Structures are given as C-alpha cells and as structure tokens.
Structure 1
Amino acid sequence: MVTIRDARLADDGRLLEIYAPYVRETAISFETEVPELMEFRQRMEHVRRRYPYLVAEENGRVLGYAYAAAFHVRAAYDWAVETTIYVDKECRRGGIGRRLYEALEAALGTMGVLNLNACIAAPVDGAEDEYLTNDSEGFHARMGYTLVGRFHKCGYKFGRWYDMIWMEKMLGEHVEKPRPVQAYADVNFR
C-alpha cells in the first residue's frame, strides 16, 4: 500500500536517485548536470524550512516526491508557490503523482496558500521527441491546472530548443484581507 509522508533528510539519496535520470535522460528538467548529494540535501533543507516536501512510499521504498517552494521571494507573493513533482520512472502512470499532488495541495491549503504554479518543460509546437513529451502538461491539466503562459525556445538541452510553460491552479478564494500564510511546520496537517 502506498503511503504519503513528510520527506526526511535521510531520503536524500533515494530522491536524488529518482531525480537523476530526469536530468541525464530527459528535457523534463532543464538542469544539465546531476547535483551532488550535498547540494541536493541543501535544496531539501531550504524548502523544508517553510514548505511541505512529501514522498510516496510503498513497503519502505520511496517511489516519488513532491514539494512546494516560494514562487518569488518578495512578501506580496506569499500566497503563491511553485510546485514540483518527480516519480520513479518505473512507477509512472500508477496514480502516485496524483496522490502526491493531492496531499501537497491539502497541506498547502491548510497553510493558507492560494495559488499553485507549475513551471513545465514543453516541446516546441507540441512536437514530442525522445527527451520530452506532453505528459507533464497533461498531468497538470488533469489535476486542475490551466495554462497561463508559454516562453518559446528558452531552454536548450540535447542539442535542441524547448519551450517552458506555466500552469496555475487556485486553491481558494482571493479575499480582500487573506490570512497570513503559515509555515508548514506550524500547521497541524497530519
């Protein structure tokens, strides 16, 4: 049975193991070099200071992870986050991504976050290749995200250009005086 839990720093090696093929073999990540374990851990620590960083686990094995990070550093953006998700390539299309995002959205809603933003690599003119499909855009659309912007040929990897799209999802109503967003550690989520 798949369970969703908070990531632990001890998960860093397995999470990097999941992420590395996306860097080396796909244009899903515009990162071109797999980060060192210490750098990856520092990224985790930075995110976990304020936001949820979740893993999907089955029989003690982590199958994927999702997290949210600041959309922008300025205070007026506090109600907006950027979401990220990676699932072990052997476990894709099994509902793990949906479970992770549903849990992530629930946690963010409890914190008071209103806007979810996803930055997604996209094939130029929708023309899929061996490094990039439209699967991530389709997944986000099924999760309720809508396309709000496209940056043309802004990423170059594997000797070709790729677009980058932004999709968004609203978690709640935008009232005149929203409650302050709380840090994930300060909310009683689980």
Structure 2
Amino acid sequence: VQPLHYRNIEERNNKLEAVSFSGQYGDKVSPKLALVHPNFKGDVVYQGNSELTLSGEFGKEFKPIASWQNNLVYDKDKVIQIWPEFDIDGAVELQYTFRLIQTGADGALIEQIVLTDDMLDSPLEIPTKPFDAYISVTVKARGNGTVHLGPIHKRWSRLDMGQFLLGGSRFVDSQRQEF
C-alpha cells in the first residue's frame, strides 16, 4: 500500500481519474514503419519488426534521420506514457521530437516535446488533455556511429501508482528493452 499524494481536492480527483482504469492498455509503432530521411547517406538496414539500423556520419548538428509514417494515438483524459527503444554505438546523440496534433478538421499542432537520448532514461509522460490527438514522432542525430531504432511504445500511465497495473513494476535491460 502506498499513499496518494495531492495538494487539493481537484488534484486528487484528477489523479484518481487518471490512474483508475481496469486492466492495462498499450500499443507500439514498429521501426519497419519508419521512413529514413532521404538526405541520410549512410547504411540503412531494416531488421523486420524489431529494429532499424542506421550507420555512418550524421553531421555536427542534429539532422533528421527518421520519422514514422504511422502516428501513436493520444487518448483523451489519459496520462500517456511513451517509451522509445533505441541503442547507440559510437559517438552519436539522438533527439526525439513528439508532436501532439489534435484530431478533427483543423489538425492543429497542440504541443511539441523535444528530448535528447540522455533525457529518456525513463518514459515520457504526457499529462491528461480533454481531447484525442495524434502523436507524430521524428528522430534527429548527430555524430558518428550506429543507431539502432526499435519500436516506440505507448501506454496508459498509472503515474506514481505503479507500472502497467496498480502497484506494478517495470523492468528494462541495458538495450532499453522492457521485460
């Protein structure tokens, strides 16, 4: 048993609504659905559903290397957790950009979140919003070496009340793969 932390009644109610759902929900987009940027001149290998490998010189500044042709879905009134699987060999840095685009006629860009690989030691959590949206994902790189891009996982978050299930735990190996 762990305490439920909140500062006021509204925060308590919002937190309870965000974490109290039955079961669990998550999905992912495969690296086989990633499109390599046409200006990338290095080696490209798709390894089925599991990995996209890019090797070479990425440049001194962050440059686009891949974007996913399928978006993740942001579910209304849920805290969404995003976990990109990737591994790096050599002197390469990554920068992920997550764009929330509201569903509907105008498809307005609501929010853009930019995180470097060292900022992704734990999953990204996107707070609740009162609308559905798409989450587009692009990756930039700089440096020299090899980048291994795996699936990008999305799940409903339980905030600090556990992972996957209430009170549950999450385990990740050195290659950022969950088990």
Work out whether the TM-score is over 0.5: no
Using structure 1 for the length normalisation, give the TM-score: 0.30
Greater helix share, structure number: 1
Which structure has more relative contact order (CA 8 Å, sep 6+)? It is 2
Using structure 2 for the length normalisation, give the TM-score: 0.32
Structure ID, larger Rg: 2
